Structure 1
């Protein structure tokens, strides 16, 4: 397997300890849990998505565990501005704040809370199960551009997380780039649901959810590949990454770094485990690997 030279990297204006980042929504609700994931070997961490007002989320059940994936319909529960207290134990660490809003103005407001407190901002324009937020905005190129510009214009490093639930993801990636994004994150979850045949009703309290985990890895690779062909800003691959070889495959498709989410549920120390296989003192410079599958 291809291995990389270890060491800090910079992607989309943010300096990371390595190429492995905790994805939003997984152990990102408290400063203590984020700090623990950093101790366990993550190169950076993304917080739970924070919005302009507190939300309790969808009624349960909110999670369905499958053989090779997870369907969730959390509904963006978050404490809003009260979350800022959690950052006190993370000073100087590579923390990216995931934020959401219903308008460019709301995105600008929430981003302002975090400016100077975190390394950068990740716009959640991709959650498929929160009405009026996430993919409801992220499927419209004009809104993506406006929301991105609202956050990026003050100069804070800005990443935009894209939804795969569109006809052409490159159109959305280019809109984020026009809005001033420093990087794009691909992808968030795929629309999905399960039905209980014994109860004759959807399993999730919200009926619909988003599929993550190993099942969506090939979809994520294709999205990263297409975005690399179309866009000129860095790409962070996300979706089903669970091994060092997955990381290399994502990078060959065009990712400069990766986010890991669902795999953490099974092993909170997965970052150290992957890093042990991914890095070697005689490994390749990552620049030799990123995008090498494009011919």
Structure 2
């Protein structure tokens, strides 16, 4: 079940999605966080943020809308309390960062580069660029590449920089390619697409912010499509796949599409043990399909028909 995020080895491919496990202490009440491949924090910002007004979450068919707004205590409190807590427990930690300018992302990366316990940095590009009329970084390849290049320039060489991509673009492959050209060691997808619902009793938008990010099983086909397209174009780039993962079979689908790491997000809100369950189900599924290594399944759906059958035959012959 070992896998790699850049040059960093993870014991297994399961991580949490940013924003769904805060910074770990809440989830640690239910299981040892060291049992999953890594924990991804909520997106850390330079200054404390109270988040958006309520209501900021609304259930939808097979999904969840949220407009939390990167609520958090800021990087100082994160470095003083939350990251040391994770480091003391040996938890592999992917730190998600969010900013409103290239300079802010750079400053965050500079604060993290010497901090012990940082396994990787995930750059949340679905943030408004206040220097470009609030246009989201992730929707523009050049803007995304500029952020990634700035983070990579100050981050320790041994800490992978992961670009988190949005599906709300015309061509996700071109944005992915721009991020890799800018220095991204890996890609994370998908961030929540933007959605909206209206309360038909109140006859008003369900969220105070009107729109929000849609997550849950409803977006899984969108995630699979994005992972498939990017892996086909950039087969050597590690991908963290996410979007509606509830079961080991869901994780397996993203792995077949090209992901080598899979993040569990919304499922944690109703099942705090979801990461361990998905990991167990995935391991059982791989064994039942005749895989001895997770790596042999990554991107397998891209290979010619019959490859999977040939793979099983080769394994059986090797065993004999």
Length-normalised TM-score, structure 2? 0.84
CA contact (8 A) 1:68 1:213 kept: yes
Q: Which residue of 1 aligns with 2:317?
A: none
Determine if contact 1:35/1:90 at 8 Å carries over to the other structure: no
Match of 1:89 among 72, 78, 85: 85
Q: Residues 149 and 183 of structure 2 are in contact (CA less than 8 Å); yes or no, is this contact kept in structure 1?
A: yes
Contact 1:24 1:49 in 2 (8 A): yes
**CA gap 1:71/1:135 in 2 versus in 1, 3 angstroms:** farther
RMSD, aligned α-carbons: 2.0
Match of 1:47 in 2: 41
Q: Deviations over 1:237-260 (max 9, x none)?
A: 010011111111111111111111
Note the C-alpha offset of 1:14: 2.9
In structure 2, the CA distance between the partners of 1:63 and 1:184, relative to structure 1 (3 Å rule), is same
Pick from 84, 91, 106: which aligns with 1:108?
Answer: 106
Selected match of 1:18 from 12, 18, 40: 12
| Inter-partner Cα distance in structure 1 for 2:277 and 2:265 | 14
Contact 1:15 1:94 in 2 (8 A): no
- The DSSP-based 3-state class of the residue aligned with 1:252 is helix
Equivalent residue number for residue 241 of structure 1: 245
Distance 2:190 2:56 in 1: 20
- 1:24-173 correspondence runs (5 A): 24-28=18-22, 30-33=23-26, 35-36=28-29, 39=32, 41-81=35-75, 82-84=77-79, 85-91=81-87, 92-115=90-113, 116-117=115-116, 118-126=118-126, 132=130, 136-153=136-153, 154=155, 155=157, 156-173=159-176
| The 10-residue stretch of structure 1 (58-67 or 34-43) with the greater mean CA deviation from structure 2 | 34-43
Whether 2:194 is the aligned partner of 1:191: answer yes
Aligned match of 2:224 in 218, 221, 225?
221
Runs of 5+ in structure 2 lacking a partner? 304-320
CA contact (8 A) 1:125 1:162 kept: yes
Note if contact 1:55-1:78 (Cα within 8 Å) is conserved in structure 2: yes
My pick for the range that moved more, 228-237 or 271-280, is 271-280
Kindly indicate whether residue 174 of structure 2 is the aligned counterpart of residue 176 of structure 1: no
Where does the alignment leave 5 or more consecutive residues of structure 1 unmatched? 1-5
- Aligned equivalent of 1:210: 213
Shift of residue 284, structure 1, vs aligned partner: 2.8
| TM-score, normalised relative to structure 1 | 0.91
Shift of 1:131: 7.2
